[in-house]
Amino acid sequence: MPVDRIEGIKYLTRSEAAKLFARLRADDYELYCLLYLSYIHGLRVSEVLNLKFSDYSIQEGRVFIWRKKGSVPNSVKISDQEMLIYRNLKSRRKGRELFNWHRSTVDRKIKRAFRKYRLPSEKAHHHTFRHTLAVHLLQQKVDIYTIKEILGHRDIRNTMIYARLTGYHLDEIQNRIGGYIEYE
């Protein structure tokens, strides 16, 4: 059973995220691209707005993520979908940045999309996508250290906010522990 709610953290459920991405892809492709990259890499708004075409090494199939707030920069593999986004944006843009937007534009576009698609307004913030990635990974039983690396946290304590376990998960773990010992 997946985590339904982690107190204090605003994130999109799988169905909310799927609905948003499917509709944005058709309605506002650039916002779709920005939020998709934010989601798959757990990027803060400043990090996604600072992404440059030169941060991508197409030959190596990697992108270098310049992290903010004392986080660890990292180089990650480019997915096929991200490669498609890169090529589409490159063909549309003349500048160095993938997105030539101000953060207030991002906020306004996100709020408008959430209203249009009838998604909870309290989740209509860019940082929701970073939280959503972490929660979705946790729901898929990805270990907390891997989530830490993906988010670029220096300190595991910053990642531990996502690891609050519900009573159900504690029960599930206790049941598994009991199965570790074979009885005669």
pLDDT in tens, 30-71: 999 999 999 999 999 999 999 999 999 999 999 999 888 767
Q: What is the pLDDT of residue 166?
A: 36
Q: What is the pLDDT of residue 168?
A: 45
Record the tokens describing residue 137, joined without a space.
């990974």
Record the tokens describing residue 174, joined without a space.
């206790």
Question: Hunting for tokens 């309605």 — which residue is that?
Answer: 27
Where is average pLDDT lowest: 13-27, 103-117, 147-161?
147-161
Helix %, strand %, coil % of the chain (to 5): 60, 5, 35
Question: Which residue segments constitute the domains of the chain, with CATH numbers given?
Answer: 14-178 (1.10.443.10)
pLDDT in tens, 156-181: 888 877 776 434 455 666 666 665 66
How far apart, in whole angstroms, are the C-alpha atoms of residue 86 and residue 19?
A: 22
Which DSSP symbol is given to 96? S
Q: What is the pLDDT of residue 69?
A: 75
